[in-house]
Amino acid sequence: MVGIFFISAVVYLLLAWSGDGVDVAEVLIAVALGAVMFAASRTWISKSEWASQSLNPLRWGHFLVYFFGPFLLGLAKANLEVAKLVITGKIRPGIVKVNPRLRTPGALTLLANSITLTPGTLTVDVSEGDGHLYIHWLDVSNPSPSEEELYGSFGKWARRIAE
């Protein structure tokens, strides 16, 4: 949490920097802003169960690997697949129900957003009780698709990053 103090102060100083240096008053304002952000973060971070997990640098590293690797590759493949479906006219739209077996809301959110960001799929609803996703898919060739068939390795990465 001390990192929040330093990050807040440094960001303020970078924003206030005019190229001629930083005035002493700006440094005092940065320290005061950092203290306020530190105090505010103590109230919401200590009450949140995801806070210690989300601040883990290893998880951020996994997220960056996921974003610049499997996600961008899946995005490119989905664009080509949607283009092929549109050109050929073989669109079979529908909504499928999938159970990704994710335990945390963060993992479910990451997966749902990844699915929605790729062309051809859209997360329509999330069943909070059992964690099922309802996904609109442009190519419903199988009414009960596997994870790999519907959204590739996104589920495995969501587990690795957020669980």
Residue 138 token pair: 């442009």
β 133-137/94-98 pair status: antiparallel
Pair (152, 119) in one structural domain: yes
List the helix and strand counts (H, then E) for the chain: 8, 3
For 33-42, 82-91, 111-120, which range has the lowest pLDDT when averaged over its residues? 33-42
Pair (84, 135) in one structural domain: yes
Q: Residue 92 pLDDT > 60, yes or no?
A: yes
Q: Is 56 exposed, middle or buried (0-12, 13-18, 19+ CB in 10 A)?
A: exposed
pLDDT tens figures, 65-77: 999 999 999 999 9
Pair (75, 94) in one structural domain: yes
Interatomic CA distance for residues 145 and 91, integer angstroms: 16
Pair (24, 91) in one structural domain: no
pLDDT value at position 163? 80
Pair (42, 105) in one structural domain: no
Closest among 103, 114, 10 to 53, alpha carbons compared: 103
Backbone φ and ψ for 158, nearest 5 degrees, come out as: -65, -40
Pair (60, 110) in one structural domain: yes
When divided into structural domains, the chain yields a total of: 2
pLDDT tens figures, 10-60: 888 888 877 777 788 888 888 898 888 888 777 665 555 555 566 677 888
Pair (66, 140) in one structural domain: yes
Pair (79, 124) in one structural domain: yes
Range(s) of the domain holding residue 14: 2-47
Pair (75, 39) in one structural domain: no
Q: How far is CA 147 from CA 33, 108, 121, 140, 152, in A?
A: 46, 13, 13, 13, 6
The mean of the pLDDT values for the chain is 85
Band (113; pLDDT cuts 50, 70, 90): very high
Pair (62, 20) in one structural domain: no
Pair (39, 84) in one structural domain: no
Pair (83, 133) in one structural domain: yes
Cβ–Cβ < 8 Å for 158, 102: yes
